[in-house]
Structure 1
Amino acid sequence: MKHVLLFGAGKSATVLIDYLLANAPRQKWHITVADNDLMLIKSKIGKSYYATAAAIDVKDPSVRQPLVKETDLVISLLPPALHITVARDCLQFGKNLLTASYVDPEIRQLEKEIEAAGLLFMYEMGLDPGIDHMSAMKLIQSIEKKGGQISCFRSYCGGLISPESNDNPWQYKISWNARNIVLAGSSGAIYREKGKVKEVPYEHLFDQSKTIQVPGLGKLAWYPNRDSLNYTDIYNLSNIPTFMRATLRYPDFCEGWNAIVKLGLTNDKEKQQTDKLTYAGWTTRHISADPNLSAEENVAQFLGVSSKSKLIRQLKFLGILNGDLINLGEQTDAGVLQHVLEARLRMEPSDKDMIVMLHEIEFERRNMSTKLSSYMIVQGEDNLRTAMAKTVGLPLGILAKLVLSGQVSLTGLQIPIMPEIYNPVLRELEEFDIRFEESFD
């Protein structure tokens, strides 16, 4: 019997665990789910004969390493900073590793050792990054195989609330790690537009958001995502004039988040004592507040809007303009904001989320210019089996099956850009209604 070790039982793990357990009888698997929250693990695995709960402190090598040593494959859905710890264990004990997180500088330093050990460390095997790479590379390689010359590549992806559950002024609810939402875009963005490299600092990232039309949904806002240029060589598009990867949101979210950034509420460096600090005091602490004005009026004045504007309604909805004490001990601004979002933008049990992905590729073939649009919309079932959990978890589960059944011979530190990975994974994803529709202009 093969053993799969999954680190992390959070929001993104639900559908992955379902998939692994559903395949366990036929594949002869046993799954160990490791997390610090025993009740959370049990809520995901139920009473399955094919699963074991391991309630551990993942930072403790005395309990973590024996689990890695005894397994055949490791999947990590831990916070990104902890992946390197698990990766070093996998290298030490000769285990393949799959994760949905970005390749980072620390894992890059182990690249030669991973290759020398003949192991597969597949990173960016989730949604974005993950399905974006696989679907994009399938399109790119198909176009080039037919002699097309690509001049423009744009890729957009967003985790959104489904229209029927879109009932707050932010047009957003949390379907994944709230900390990632708070820190999203904090490193700014770099991309190329018509031959010119564009660099957008964090403080201007959201005030430059533009809109794009998505079939069946109308206009969505987008902002450029991280360093798009990191992927030009990987996609074999290093010389094209326009290359950009972007995040999708409803327009109201980008406008509101721009105000949050301008108020300085996403800083994750300096801590402050919050036990005697009010939310209104916290929100206005980075601006020159007039003591004769209310928090609403001060913030409105700072943002250059009316105190009855949509932006102020959004901030009031979060409860960050009232006189309640924060009472979270020592916290960074980002920590306070995360607490606020988890309380005010949580998904209710019946809420449904939605994933939207769109690729736009312009190319020339036989002296004819063509624009290809390929889009995917995935709906969640409820607040547990979300579209986010499906699109992050299922690619990992499908690849785990391929690896454990000996259908993958690939080794080294990789992301899923090769046909031997993306063809079978995308094909099986269609069985779960995760598919792309294409149109040509």
Structure 2
Amino acid sequence: MNSKSILVIDDNPDIGTALSVLCTLANIQCTSVLSPAEGLEKLKQQSFDLVIQDMNFSSDMTSGDEGIALFHQIREIVSDIPIIVITAWTNLETAVDLVRCGFADYLAKPWDDDKMLNSINNLLELGELSNAQRKSASKRQTRINALNEKFDLCDMQFQSDEMLSLLELTTKVAHADVPVLITGPNGAGKEKIAQIIQRNSSVAEGPFVKVNVGALPKDLMEAELFGAEAGAFTGATKTRIGRFERANGGTLFLDEIGNLSLDGQAKLLRVLETGELERIGGCETINVNVRVVSATNADLPQAIIDGDFREDLFYRLNVIELELMPLNQRQDDIVPLANFFLQQSHTLTVAAVEKLNQYHWPGNVRELQNIIKRAMLISDGSVIDAKDIDVKVVDKMQSKSIVEPDLQTINETLQAHNGVVSAAAKQLGLSRSALYRRMKKFGIESNH
């Protein structure tokens, strides 16, 4: 018999019987009770791995208030047990709200047996966290809380060790008056990192001026950055104030810096070294005090070899480099980001979460935001299921990128990284929790 056990709390005895039969066939122990009071007493007497509860227990009740109260009472007894809510009242908005707040899943009566078993098994598997992982998660959350209390993180949503380490470094250098270069793929969130630097810098009260160098026509790029006097070129009928002047006393964020022309690079280098610039067509020297933060998805060292980027400018911009990893290398950030994009109007089922975690995300955070927007538009109601995720794109990418590691591969990868699970997970393309589940499956002990 499976050592896992679930508790069903529902006033309809037929519900308890049906779930008991379903769980027995799946080799899962199931105990059912008919009232919240009985359920709470059972939870005090013995340990369960999962609770399935109704939302209404009195014949004249449809508000869900009884289920809400039971949810919070269960949490007082067992703070981390997953809870599935089942109800015939599928339009119950308060129940949907609770999914966001803590319910693990939300299923309508009558349920589909396959969907119910899939939800139960997923939640039981997710619950198999080792003590080492729990301790690691606790330490990580303590660091995250400390970071949020001390700094303005601009609503950054994250849970991964990779992003936590990056943000700790970001906030550490934010107050220093040195140029920062943010590297990483398109759509990964480089502008958000720049915002965090600005918000926590010594010039936080000054202007924050953003310019996408890659989006500027080359013949207008220098005028945009450094300004131009009236008559400096055709169409320049009045003096143009450049972005550097506008950012004086604050921060200038130069995105896609690798696209800047060589002439523009020379002028940028002069401003960085002297704090002085001249508008195009002008002879007046203008002094500016600007904190420059730049970003690129290009390989600047290779661009230097190719003669497309100045080496001296690279080292001037790259006093501090912040490397932003692609989303598929920080998978623990996927669900927090997805929930943030849902804008508290929708919630994800366990199957939807699994689908999101399996996708390779070549378009990074920007792609995730677009897919969540699409899912919100096509979903039936406020709950987003796996079918609402862009299945064709997901399946296509999965066939190229998802390979299930075997026992030997996991052991060899762990040995290569001295047993550090987070590092091994990154190499295998898995989240830490996904690797821990596979280690549990193969009986591999973790020392980290």
- TM-score above 0.5: no
Q: Which has the higher contact order (CA 8 A, sep 6+)?
A: 1
Q: Which has the higher strand share?
A: 1
What TM-score do the two structures reach when normalised by structure 1?
0.26
